[in-house]
């Protein structure tokens, strides 16, 4: 199977990747062997970026343990490999070990310093003044391009000469695919999408594999406004400009992207139902709640890799049959659960997310109470005991990942528009009421008031069916099988 390279640009790109990782952890199928995220964001200190990097690293740590040997259930949790660009490169000392591409010469610099404005002659300074306002020139670039794609288009041109782009090219194979995530109403995303796409479609020698890259199957999602920002006289970001900037970017995209068939599949998303976030572009700022639109954006990536090769043919950098897609829900409500999604979307995510939610509920509420007291825990080697729970795999990685998962769901629920698939307040006596809008079947054991007893029954059955791989594989396999069986018995899913 082929690889998928994902270029996540700016804050929106970072948050969409986060939603994709949640779906992959739950076991949503990706028609690729490997996902390679490359995050392009000059604002390296922002909270959203840090949270997503931490999430990716924990996913990678869990997944690496599950892929040792061949006994891991390939239909299970964390089945899709996520790796860094560095892991594809033999000379790893050249690249960062994180998922983020580090822009050069932007730390602690204003844009005027980046373009060496002070050394320009009088005529060139006059030209710069026509193209860039004084506010543009004074922009601190290490917090992003804060709604100024004209600045971003200059700075991001360094991408084509970077070590990261060279090693991406070296490891790109004929059947690999590329997906670009960006917003259209800001600065970094609006500038980054056409810049990266241009470098792909114009790939030439001596760039390695330039013909494969130029004719690659490329998909992208460009997000229209789906949130606002609160007024802040100290900030240069003003939500009143979002629509005008989107119109300007769409006009440019029509000429330079869709108008010249530069993209194979382009997805557009936006929403009129919005919520204002804190307007803080500075150090440590940009911590936005997870949003339903970002989850849908992640689904566009899964849709893209599921498209047949014949629908995505490219010749000399031109898409032969460009595809343009949008997304809709059944009812225009401010609060959406699984039932409000289209049938195809439900089929894709309802079961895996519901399984992972059950898994997470057991770990949060019952694991410490029941470990060493159930046959699935200590009937045979390797035993799932307190030592396992205290080890780095569970304590530092899986548990940390699940904290992100719980927080992600809470943020989706409190956002606008809200996505509320689960009741987060269930306990042992109403466990199977955790799916909003979906009624459980009657208990097959009417005497069981502790619903986690029914969970243990399925864990015990699952434990008999698996072999004796590593303790990490055993733990994840039996919980995957148990949650799958519980969903079928209780909900017919």
User: Which of 275, 296, 327 finishes a domain?
Assistant: 327
Residue 191 has pLDDT above 90, yes or no: no
| Residue 314, domain member (yes or no) | yes
pLDDT digits (tens, 9 = 90+) for 317-346: 999 999 999 998 998 899 999 999 999 999
* DSSP bridge partners of 319: 314
Q: Are strands 265-269 and 323-325 parallel, antiparallel or unpaired?
A: parallel
pLDDT mean over 346-366: 96
Q: What percent of the chain has pLDDT over 90?
A: 47
Query: Is residue 424 domain-shared with residue 484, that is, in the same domain?
Result: yes
Q: Are the CB atoms for 190 and 249 separated by under 8 Å?
A: yes
Query: Is residue 484 domain-shared with residue 379, that is, in the same domain?
Result: yes
pLDDT range class, residue 142, cuts 50, 70, 90: low
Q: How many CA within 13 A on the CB side of residue 388? A: 19
CA distance 453 to 173: 49
The DSSP annotation for 8-65 comes to EEHHHHHHHHHHHHHHHHHT---SSSEEEEEEE-S-TT-HHHHHHHHHHHHHHHHHHH
| Residue 334, domain member (yes or no) | no
* More confident call, 341 vs 91: 341
What angle, 0 to 180 degrees and rounded to 10, lies between the N-to-C axes of helices 10-26 and 343-365? 80
Terminal C-alpha separation, the chain: 28
Q: What is the pLDDT, as a whole number, of residue 71?
A: 43
Query: Is residue 63 domain-shared with residue 192, that is, in the same domain?
Result: yes
* More confident call, 262 vs 279: 262
Per-range mean pLDDT, top range of 64-68, 140-144, 216-220, 432-436: 216-220
Residue 455 has pLDDT above 90, yes or no: yes
pTM value?
A: 0.89
Which backbone phi and psi does 14 adopt, to 5 degrees?
A: -60, -45
Report the candidate in 325, 298, 299, 297 with the shortest Cα–Cα distance to residue 311. 325
Residue 145 has pLDDT above 60, yes or no: no
Choose the weakest-confidence range: 111-125, 129-143, 168-182, 280-294: 129-143
Cα 71 to Cα 68, 74, 97, 468, distances in angstroms: 8, 8, 28, 9
Q: What percent of the chain has pLDDT over 70?
A: 79
pLDDT range class, residue 179, cuts 50, 70, 90: very high
Query: Is residue 63 domain-shared with residue 201, that is, in the same domain?
Result: yes
pLDDT mean over 300-306: 96
Q: What is the pLDDT, as a whole number, of residue 194?
A: 85
pLDDT mean over 213-237: 81
CATH of the domain at 99: 3.40.50.1440
Residue 68 has pLDDT above 60, yes or no: no
| Residue 336, domain member (yes or no) | no
Q: Report the phi/psi class of residue 299: left, alpha or beta, with left for phi > 0 and alpha for psi in -120 to 50.
A: alpha
Q: What is the pLDDT, as a whole number, of residue 158?
A: 67
Query: Is residue 166 domain-shared with residue 29, that is, in the same domain?
Result: yes
Query: Is residue 102 domain-shared with residue 126, that is, in the same domain?
Result: no
| Residue 337, domain member (yes or no) | no
| Residue 388, domain member (yes or no) | yes
Q: Are the CB atoms for 288 and 48 separated by under 8 Å?
A: yes
pLDDT digits (tens, 9 = 90+) for 151-161: 556 666 667 77
Residue 378 has pLDDT above 90, yes or no: no
Q: Structural domain of residue 412, as residue ranges?
A: 343-491
Query: Is residue 168 domain-shared with residue 296, that is, in the same domain?
Result: yes
User: Which of 327, 356, 375 finishes a domain?
Assistant: 327
| Residue 167, domain member (yes or no) | yes
CA distance 281 to 278: 9
Query: Is residue 128 domain-shared with residue 229, that is, in the same domain?
Result: no
In the predicted model, what is the mean pLDDT of the chain? 84
Query: Is residue 376 domain-shared with residue 312, that is, in the same domain?
Result: no
Q: Are strands 314-315 and 318-319 parallel, antiparallel or unpaired?
A: antiparallel
| Residue 332, domain member (yes or no) | no
Name the residue with tokens 């498209």.
307
Residue 106 has pLDDT above 60, yes or no: no
Q: What is the dihedral of CA 349, 346, 449, 453, to 10 degrees?
A: -30
Number of domains in the chain: 3
pLDDT digits (tens, 9 = 90+) for 423-452: 999 988 889 999 998 988 876 565 567 889
Q: What is the pLDDT, as a whole number, of residue 154?
A: 60
Q: What is the pLDDT, as a whole number, of residue 176?
A: 96
Query: Is residue 175 domain-shared with residue 293, that is, in the same domain?
Result: yes
pLDDT range class, residue 283, cuts 50, 70, 90: low
Q: What is the pLDDT, as a whole number, of residue 448?
A: 65
Q: What is the pLDDT, as a whole number, of residue 72?
A: 44
Residue 478 has pLDDT above 80, yes or no: yes
The DSSP annotation for 234-299 comes to T-S--GGGHHHHHHHHHHHHHHHTGGGT--SEEEEE--SS--EEP---STT---PPP-HHHHHHHH
Query: Is residue 47 domain-shared with residue 76, that is, in the same domain?
Result: yes
* Cβ-proximal residues to 309 (8 Å cutoff; 6+ apart), any chain: 175, 217
Query: Is residue 287 domain-shared with residue 367, that is, in the same domain?
Result: no
* More confident call, 332 vs 88: 332
| Residue 333, domain member (yes or no) | no
């Amino acid at each position: 199977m082929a690889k998928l390279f994902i270029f996540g640009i700016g804050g929106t790109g970072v948050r969409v990747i986060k939603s994709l990782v949640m779906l992959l952890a739950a076991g949503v199928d990706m028609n690729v062997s490997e996902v390679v995220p490359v995050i392009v964001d000059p604002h390296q200190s922002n909270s959203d970026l840090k949270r997503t990097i931490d999430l990716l690293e924990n996913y990678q740590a869990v997944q690496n343990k599950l892929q040792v040997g061949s006994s891991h259930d390939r239909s299970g949790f964390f089945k899709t490999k996520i790796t860094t660009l560095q892991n594809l490169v033999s000379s790893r000392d050249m690249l960062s070990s994180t998922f983020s591409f580090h822009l050069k010469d932007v730390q602690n610099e204003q844009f005027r310093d980046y373009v060496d404005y002070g050394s320009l002659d009088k005529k060139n300074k006059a030209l710069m003044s026509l193209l860039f306002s004084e506010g543009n020139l004074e922009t601190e670039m290490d917090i992003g391009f804060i709604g100024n794609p004209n600045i971003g288009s200059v700075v991001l041109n360094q991408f084509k000469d970077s070590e990261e782009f060279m090693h991406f090219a070296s490891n790109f194979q004929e059947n690999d695919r590329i997906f670009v995530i960006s917003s259209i109403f800001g600065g970094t995303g609006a500038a980054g999408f056409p810049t990266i796409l241009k470098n792909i479609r114009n790939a030439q020698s001596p760039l390695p594999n330039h013909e494969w890259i130029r004719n690659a199957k490329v998909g992208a999602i460009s997000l229209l406004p789906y949130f606002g920002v609160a007024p802040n006289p100290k900030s240069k970001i003003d939500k009143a400009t979002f629509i005008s900037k989107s119109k300007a970017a769409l006009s440019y995209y029509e000429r330079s992207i869709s108008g010249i068939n530069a993209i194979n599949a382009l997805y557009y998303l936006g929403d009129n139902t919005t919520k204002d976030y804190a307007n803080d572009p500075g150090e440590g700022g940009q911590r936005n709640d997870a949003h339903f639109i970002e989850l849908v954006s992640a689904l566009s990536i899964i849709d893209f890799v599921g498209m047949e090769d014949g629908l995505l043919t490219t010749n000399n950098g031109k898409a032969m049959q460009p595809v343009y897609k949008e997304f809709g829900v059944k009812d225009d409500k401010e609060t959406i659960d699984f039932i409000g999604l289209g049938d195809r979307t439900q089929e894709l995510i309802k079961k895996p997310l519901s399984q992972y939610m059950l898994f997470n509920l057991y770990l949060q509420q019952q694991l410490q109470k029941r470990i060493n007291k159930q046959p699935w825990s200590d009937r045979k080697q390797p035993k799932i005991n307190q030592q396992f729970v205290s080890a780095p795999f569970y304590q530092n990685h899986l548990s940390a990942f699940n904290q992100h998962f719980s927080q992600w769901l809470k943020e989706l629920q409190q956002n606008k528009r809200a996505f509320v698939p689960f009741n987060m307040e269930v306990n042992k006596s109403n466990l199977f009421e955790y799916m909003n809008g979906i009624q459980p079947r009657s208990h097959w054991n009417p005497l069981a008031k502790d619903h986690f007893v029914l969970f243990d029954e399925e864990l015990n059955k699952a434990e008999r069916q698996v072999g004796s791989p590593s303790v990490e594989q055993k733990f994840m396999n039996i919980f995957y099988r148990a949650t799958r069986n519980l969903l079928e018995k209780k909900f017919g899913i």
